[in-house]
Amino acid sequence: MSTTYKTDFAAIKQQFVLPEGMIYLDGNSLGPLPKATSERVKTCIEQEWGQELIRAWNSAGWMATPTRLGDRIARMVGAEPGCITTGDTLSIKVYQALAAGLELRPERRVVLSDSGNFPSDLYMAQGLLQSLGEDNELRVVEPEAVADALTSEVAVLMLTQVDYRSGRLHDMAALSEQARSVGAITLWDLAHTAGAYPVRLADCQADFAVGCSYKFLNGGPGAPAFIYVRPGLKEQVRPALSGWLGHEAPFAFDLDYRAGHGIERMRVGTPPILQMAALDVSLDIWDQVDMDELRARSIELSQLFIAEVEQRCPALRLASPRAPEERGSQVSFAFDEGYAAMQALIARQVIGDFRAPDIMRFGITPLYLDEGDITQAAERIELVMRDEEWRRPEFQVRAAVT
Amino acid sequence: MSTTYKTDFAAIKQQFVLPEGMIYLDGNSLGPLPKATSERVKTCIEQEWGQELIRAWNSAGWMATPTRLGDRIARMVGAEPGCITTGDTLSIKVYQALAAGLELRPERRVVLSDSGNFPSDLYMAQGLLQSLGEDNELRVVEPEAVADALTSEVAVLMLTQVDYRSGRLHDMAALSEQARSVGAITLWDLAHTAGAYPVRLADCQADFAVGCSYKFLNGGPGAPAFIYVRPGLKEQVRPALSGWLGHEAPFAFDLDYRAGHGIERMRVGTPPILQMAALDVSLDIWDQVDMDELRARSIELSQLFIAEVEQRCPALRLASPRAPEERGSQVSFAFDEGYAAMQALIARQVIGDFRAPDIMRFGITPLYLDEGDITQAAERIELVMRDEEWRRPEFQVRAAVT
């Protein structure tokens, strides 16, 4: 007995390619293919590139695409228009935002983050800080300790809103407010909240945000990242990655860089047009979705999944917060043989993923999952656990990408 | 009467989509579409992404693609195997190489470049040096003055091998040798030589090189860039853009960065798989091409183009070096009304491009141009110039991308 929504989730599910018999609980790693994507990319290749060639930068609107897509994402993350552009990878956008944020607090030397942040964010910070010199410090604390560690020493508070392993959700509003009160800049990574949770960047007065579009946004493998800079800062920040498409006049070919207007300055090089065509299609689907309803539906399905799995599989320990309001749109279970158990489950066509050391991770994505999928997934997990299928040797072999 | 080649250029021309009636002399800006690209990208989308989903990172070999493509490019630029990886944009790769190069010469403060370098390379250097502090200097001299300016003050010599406006070719062997003699690191941008000229990175003992794949390589709009680090340095350089896919063990999700083996450390974030599928196809064509024959053919066609245009259009002044050995694979003419003249020419289906202030630029690409194309192009240029078609008001209007 589910709630009535304005968003027609059943109709939206029909807009995705979902292989027969497969239950896909890994949309928080790589979202599935929208049915319309292939044809749109074909048009981009055959008509735009093939027939228009170089002229397509104007005639097909390629040059304006990165920020046009940014504006399409804005509603989903509660951003003002004209404050998001797309391109590059999430790691590059983290670097860009962090470099800009640090320059806004030149007298401070600490970047504060937590051990629940995605490692690449920490790596990019390490790389940047090492370039900037020895007196900078990346301070990584436990997620629960962030609020206490947020002092006036902190130049930038850099957090991923949802922990990629546990799904634990940070309180963006409270931490952003606290950061402002101590004069720290905020940088939020929305990798696991864009398209999964009604992010409210403007309401929270976040300074910077970044995210990827290949997870919940369903933009495809290697889809472009995005970056947000709040209105009060976007004309003020210096882009450390000062590429020609962020220049005020790219085609003047001046020898000196002059930052472009607003968010345009966060563009760097030539955008990946085929990937952007694919993302454009998936955003057509997102236009049909109310984000608060998405959240309600995510909680419904997640609660059902937890209840079903816990009832059927006593060996699995819930590794996500039990309270839905403290959790993003994923459910994780800990199990010592989690790697092998996930391989066994994938062999049964339930696709989740594994995160070291012992996390079995399941993305709950209301755009293409319903109660039937959730229940079936739990049934198959039960089979894997009851019969200890994970003991089979073939499931113990580690693949390159896990 | 043309030379006999082992490379079957006529057969290769048949492998491209070339719109009826169009003569495409802008392959140095965006290469045309190979006929096989669309089907290959479709397979990537529908079979790999659509059916394999997350598993395609292993099953379809996605994870290994960036460096596999790098090895395919290696032969074309005279690089050793295992020294090139692909991804990101050319601007990002310039930043990566320059940051690494500067750290190899910590006691020096000067980056030497020239005014013929592509502006984005200079912009990226400006952005990086400003981040690193005030005592660094980007010294930009005239192309002819580079050798004299190459002193022991120079940390990194950063040059584009071929000038994007004039086509003037730098002597990579001589300048690299001179750089070594003064202890400077070399960083070569191959944007206008990869796929256009038999680059000899290993023979020249270049330290770093970068390039794009959407021009002569025909990888499509926004195709990935590449980066080369020579064998003696690739285990030694620190990646300033230290993303997770350059980590020694990306899926260990350690909190600390450890550089991956060799060129793998120059990877950053999740690679753009659709763009890489497109590039893979264009490299199938390149496998059929002998690079020295390509160069010979380029010179034949360029000499013909210069002779035809100069004979027909006295108002156009050759803006490229007249000696073929001093020129890349493009021919430029200067004309005060060059912008409008190029628009008029494009209306006549001869596609070149314009570079401020007065350069009409024509890419000479033997993979899909022959003597007939060159002669026809010259005939149409003659019509535009003889009848002063560029005076028409519609050709004076500037487009966003020129």
Q: Which of B55, B89, B274 lies closest to A268 in CB terms? A: B89
- The CATH number that applies at residue B104 is 3.40.640.10
Give the model's confidence band at A2: pLDDT under 50 very low, under 70 low, under 90 confident, else very high: low
Using the 8-state DSSP alphabet, how is residue A140 labeled? Answer: E
What secondary structure letter does DSSP report for B205? T
Q: Find the mean pLDDT for residues B35-49.
A: 98
Overall pTM > 0.95: yes
Q: Does A16 touch chain B (CB under 8 A)?
A: no
For residues B94 and B14, membership in a common domain is answered with no
From chain A, the residues in CB contact with B253 under 8 A are 119, 355-356
> By the 8 A CB rule, do B114 and A267 touch?
no
Is position A54 within any domain? yes
Chain A contacts of B238, Cβ < 8 Å? 127, 130
Does residue A108 sit in the same domain as residue A205? yes
Q: CA angle at residue A191 from A316 to B279, to 5 degrees?
A: 110
Contact A94, A107 (CB under 8 A): no
- The residue of B164, B213, B241, B261 whose CB has the most chain A CBs within 10 angstroms, and thus the best one to mutate to test that interface, is B241
- Rounded Cα distance between B399 and B402, Å, is 6
| pLDDT of B122 above 90 | yes
Question: Would you call B68 exposed, middle or buried from its count of C-beta atoms within 10 A (0-12, 13-18, 19+)?
Answer: middle
Give, in order, the Cα–Cα distances in Å from B189 to each of A358, B157, B164, B192, B217.
45, 11, 11, 8, 14
Contact assignment for B257 to A115 by CB distance below 8 Å: no
Provide the CATH number for the domain around residue B300. 3.90.1150.10
Q: Which positions ≥6 away from B302 have C-beta within 8 Å?
A: B324, B327, B329, B330, B331, B364
Residues B316 and B242 in one domain: no
Percentage, residues of chain A above pLDDT 70:
98
Say if A3 falls within a structural domain.
no
Give the whole-angstrom CA distance, residue A37 versus residue A40. Answer: 5
Predicted confidence (pLDDT) at residue A84 exceeds the cutoff of 60 = yes
Catalytic annotation, residues of A:
118, 189, 214-215, 361
- For the cut 70, the answer to whether the pLDDT of residue A401 exceeds it is no
CB contact under 8 A, B33 and A46: yes
* B322-381 residues touching A, CB cutoff 8 A: 346, 351, 353, 355-356
Which of A131, A217, A351, A354 should we substitute to test contact with B (largest number of B Cβ atoms within 10 Å)? Answer: A131
CB B261 within 8 A of CB B67: no
| A54 closest CB neighbour out of B17, B38, B351 | B351
Which residue segment(s) compose the domain that A144 sits in? 38-286
| List of chain A residues whose C-beta atoms are within 8 Å of the C-beta of residue B355 | 253
According to the model, what pLDDT value does residue B400 have?
Answer: 60
Residue B275 and residue A222: Cβ atoms within 8 Å? yes
Clarify whether residues B313 and B213 are in a common domain. Answer: no
Evaluate whether A352 touches A367 at the Cβ level (below 8 Å).
Answer: no
The pLDDT of residue B1: 44
**Are residues B183 and B87 both part of a single domain?**
yes
Average of per-residue pLDDT values in chain A = 96
Q: Contact A122/B257, CB-based, under 8 Å?
A: yes
**Interchain pair A270, B221: CB under 8 A:** yes
Task: Please write the tens of the pLDDT for every residue from B264-277.
Answer: 999 999 999 999 99
Residue-wise pLDDT for A226-271, tens only, equals: 999 999 999 999 999 999 999 999 999 999 999 999 999 999 999 9
Q: What is the ipTM of this complex?
A: 0.97
CA A89 to chain B, closest CA, distance in angstroms equals 6
Same domain for B295 and B351, yes or no, is: yes
Model confidence band, residue A402 (pLDDT cutoffs 50, 70, 90): low
Question: Is A401 part of any domain?
Answer: no
Taking CB atoms and an 8 Å limit, are A251 and B120 in contact across chains? no
Across the interface, whether the CB atoms of A92 and B269 are under 8 A apart is answered yes
Q: What percent of chain B has pLDDT over 90?
A: 96
Residue B147 is predicted with a pLDDT of 98
| Residue A397 confidence (pLDDT) | 82
Position B19 in a domain: yes
Instruction: Determine, for residues A351 and B54 on separate chains, whether the beta-carbon distance falls below 8 Å.
Output: yes
Do A182 and A252 share a structural domain?
yes
Q: Is the pLDDT of residue B238 over 70?
A: yes
* DSSP states along A333-374: EE-TTHHHHHHHHHHTTEE-EEETTTEEEEE--TTT--HHHH
Instruction: Say whether both A270 and A325 belong to one domain.
Output: no
Q: Which of B286, B301, B335 is the last residue of a domain?
A: B286
Cβ-defined contact of A123 to B273 (cutoff 8 Å): no
List chain B residues with CB under 8 Å of A258.
none
Testing the interface with B: which of A15, A54, A129, A282 to mutate, by most B Cβ within 10 A?
A54
- Does residue A178 lie within any of the structural domains? yes
The answer to whether residue B401 sits within a structural domain is no
Q: Under an 8 A CB cutoff, do B91 and A402 touch?
A: no
Q: Chain B closest CA to A33's CA: distance in Å? A: 5
User: Is there a single domain that holds both residue B201 and residue B266?
Assistant: yes
Cβ–Cβ < 8 Å for B243, B249: no
Contacts of B346 in chain A (CB under 8 A): 55
- Residues A316, A309: contact at Cβ < 8 Å? yes
Residue B106 belongs to some domain of the structure: yes
Average the pLDDT over B121-131 and give the result: 98
Among A286, A303, A326, which residue terminates a domain? A286
| Residue of B222, B242, B272 lying closest to A123 (CB–CB) | B242
Which residues of B are annotated as catalytic? Answer: 118, 189, 214-215, 361
Q: Does A47 touch chain B (CB under 8 A)?
A: no
Indicate whether A232 and A375 sit together in one domain: no
Residue A390 scores a pLDDT above 60:
yes
Q: What are phi and psi of A327, to 5 degrees?
A: -130, 145
CA distances from A397 to A64, A339, A340, A358, A394 (A): 46, 9, 8, 15, 6
Q: What is the mean pLDDT of residues B272-293?
A: 98
From CA A343, how far away is CA B376, in angstroms rounded? Answer: 61
pLDDT, residue B402, reads 54
* Total domains, chain A: 2
pLDDT at B401: 61
Contact across the interface for A19 and B95, Cβ inside 8 Å:
no
Query: Stretch A84-110: mean pLDDT, rounded?
Result: 98
Asked if A209 contacts A188 with a C-beta cutoff of 8 angstroms, the reply is yes
d(CA B285, CA B219): 11
Q: Residue range B235-240: average pLDDT? A: 97
| Mean pLDDT value of segment A102-124 | 97
Please say whether the beta carbons of A21 and A349 come within 8 A: yes
Q: Are A223 and A279 in contact (CB under 8 A)?
A: yes
Calculate how close chain A gets to B311, using CA atoms only, in Å. 28
pLDDT digits (tens, 9 = 90+) for B64-108: 999 999 999 999 999 999 999 999 999 999 999 999 999 999 999
Mean pLDDT for chain B overall = 96
Q: How far is CA A151 from CA A108, A147, A182, A378, B328, in A?
A: 11, 9, 6, 44, 57
Q: Which residues of A touch B356 (CB under 8 A)?
A: 251-253
Interface of B with A in 228-257 (CB under 8 A): 238-245, 247, 251-257
From chain A, pick out residues whose CB is under 8 angstroms from the CB of B254: 119
Question: What is the per-residue pLDDT across A289-301, written as a single tens digit (0 to 9) for each?
Answer: 999 999 999 999 9
* pLDDT range class, residue A1, cuts 50, 70, 90: very low
| Same domain, residue pair A23 and A46 | no
**Residue A400 covered by a domain:** no
* pLDDT score recorded for residue A158: 98
**Residues B271 and B339 placed together within one structural domain of the fold:** no
> DSSP assignment, residue B192?
T
Question: How confident is the model over A4-33, as pLDDT tens digits?
Answer: 899 999 999 999 999 999 999 999 999 999
Q: Give the distance from residue A205's alpha carbon to the nearest chain B alpha carbon, in angstroms.
A: 26
Which of residues A234, A253, A286 is at a domain's end? Answer: A286
